Amino acid sequence: MRESIKSIICLLFLVCFISACQNDKQPTSSVDTPRQIRQIPAFNADSAYWKIEKQLDFGYRVPGTEAHQQTIDWIYSLLESYGAKVFKQEFKASFFNRQDVECTNIIAQFNPELTTRILLAAHFDSRIVAEKDDERKDQPIPGADDGASGTAVLLELARMISQNPIDIGVDFALFDAEDQGSEKVNWAQGSEYWSKNLLPIGYRAKYGILLDMVGSDKAAFGKEEYSRQLAPELQDKVWDLAKSMGYSDFFQDFYAGGVMDDHINVNQYANIPMIDIINMSPVDRVSFGAYHHTHDDNIDIISKRTLRVVGQVVTAVLYNESNGTF
Ligand SMILES: [Zn+2]
C-alpha cells in the first residue's frame, strides 16, 4: 500500500513535471519558425531565349522523330543538372497516320519533401502539320512559340530556382503530344496520360500554371474561359499581380474563349486547379496569333520582353507563395 501510494505520488509528480515542461515549451512550439523572406529573383530572358533557339536547332519536335528524342534527352539532363528530382513517364500516342508512337512526359521536382507544392506545366512537342498555312500544309512547324516558348520559360525558371532557394515545393511538368490533335484524335494526350496516371504516385499540388505560347511579340494574355471556370480565384490573383508589376499591356482583362489545352486534363483528372496563360487575340478573343500552326511560328516572332514579363510574373507567384504573401 505504502509502496503504491509512493508510486502514485511519484507518478503524479512525473505527470506534473511533464506537463510543466510542456507548458514551458508551449510558447516556443506554438510559434512558427520565422519564415525566411526570399528576394524575388530577376528572370533571365536572354537565357530563356537561348533555350528556344536550342529547341529549334534540334528540328521539328514531332513524336517519333530523332529531334523529338534529342529534345527529351536535353530537357531531362538540363533539369537533372539543376539538381531537380526528375522522372520520365513513357506512353504511346496515335495521331494522323501514325500509330502507337513512343512519347515521354518529363516531371521534375524541387524540394520534393515539402507539402506545399506548385505545379508549372508546358508542352514541348511541336505540331506535325501547318494546316493554317497557305503553303506546305502537310509539313511540320518550327513551333518557336507553340511549344518551345513555354518549355524554355519553365526550364529557365528551374535554373533560377536551383540558384535561388525557395521554401515551397515546385514541380515542372513537360508534357508530350499536346499539339498533335485533329478531328479524329485528342489534343493534349500527354497531360491526359499523366493526369490519369500521376507520377510521382499520389501527387498533389496546391495549384498549377500552364504556359502555352508565351513568347511572341505583342502577346496578349486574356482570361481564358476554362481557367476562369475551373480556377477563377487563381486567375484573378495572377492577373492582379501582373498588373501590380506594371504588365497590364500583356495581362489584359478581356475574357478569352476556352482552349482545349493541358490544363483541362490536369483540372479534370488530377483535380489540381490549373490556369492557362496563353496568347489570344484581344480583338475576336477566340483566335491565336496569325503565326499559329503555320511555318511563321519561328524565332522571328519571339520577343525577349514577352518572355521576361511571363517569366517574371511566374517568379513572383512562386517566391510570394514561399514568403506567404501570394
Ligand atoms: Zn498548337
What is the percentage of the chain residues whose pLDDT exceeds 70? 90
Q: How far is the CA of 228 from the centre of ligand 1 (A)?
A: 21
Q: How far is the CA of 24 from the centre of ligand 1 (A)?
A: 61
Q: Classify domain 40-323 at the CATH topology level.
A: Aminopeptidase (3.40.630)
Q: How far is the CA of 237 from the centre of ligand 1 (A)?
A: 26
Q: Where are the domains of the chain?
A: 40-323
- Would you say 304 and 101 are in contact if contact means Cβ atoms under 8 Å apart? no
pLDDT at 33: 59
Q: What is the DSSP letter of 121?
A: E
Q: Is the pLDDT of residue 139 over 90?
A: yes
At 268, the amino acid letter reads Q
Q: How far is the CA of 257 from the centre of ligand 1 (A)?
A: 15
Convert the pLDDT of each residue in 41-70 to its tens digit: 999 999 999 999 999 999 999 999 999 999
Grid cell, residue 301, equals 516572332
Convert the pLDDT of each residue in 186-242 to its tens digit: 999 999 999 999 999 999 999 999 999 999 998 999 999 999 999 999 999 999 999
Q: Is the pLDDT of residue 14 over 50?
A: no
- Would you say 187 and 99 are in contact if contact means Cβ atoms under 8 Å apart? no
Q: Is the pLDDT of residue 18 over 90?
A: no
Q: Is the pLDDT of residue 32 over 60?
A: no
Average pLDDT along the chain: 92
Q: How far is the CA of 246 from the centre of ligand 1 (A)?
A: 28
Q: How far is the CA of 96 from the centre of ligand 1 (A)?
A: 15
Rounded CA-CA distance 283/183 in Å is: 26
- Give the range among 1-15, 34-48, 178-192 with minimum mean pLDDT: 1-15
Q: How far is the CA of 127 from the centre of ligand 1 (A)?
A: 6
Helix, strand or coil for residue 188? coil
Q: How far is the CA of 261 from the centre of ligand 1 (A)?
A: 9
pLDDT at 35: 73
Q: Is the dihedral of CA 296, 297, 299, 304 positive or negative?
A: positive
Q: Is the pLDDT of residue 22 over 90?
A: no
Element (H, E) at 229: helix 225-230
Q: How far is the CA of 147 from the centre of ligand 1 (A)?
A: 7
Q: Is the pLDDT of residue 300 over 50?
A: yes
Phi-psi region of 123 (alpha: psi -120 to 50; beta: other; left: phi over 0): beta
Convert the pLDDT of each residue in 231-268 to its tens digit: 999 999 999 999 999 999 999 999 999 999 999 999 99
With bands split at pLDDT 50, 70 and 90, how would you rate the model's confidence at 34? low
With bands split at pLDDT 50, 70 and 90, how would you rate the model's confidence at 1? very low
Q: Is the pLDDT of residue 25 over 50?
A: no
Q: How far is the CA of 293 from the centre of ligand 1 (A)?
A: 6
Q: Is the pLDDT of residue 6 over 70?
A: no
Q: Is the pLDDT of residue 30 over 50?
A: no
pTM of the model: 0.89
Mean pLDDT along residues 299-324: 98
Rounded CA-CA distance 59/183 in Å is: 26
Q: How far is the CA of 201 from the centre of ligand 1 (A)?
A: 29
Q: How far is the CA of 146 from the centre of ligand 1 (A)?
A: 5
Rounded CA-CA distance 124/306 in Å is: 18
Rounded CA-CA distance 263/320 in Å is: 22
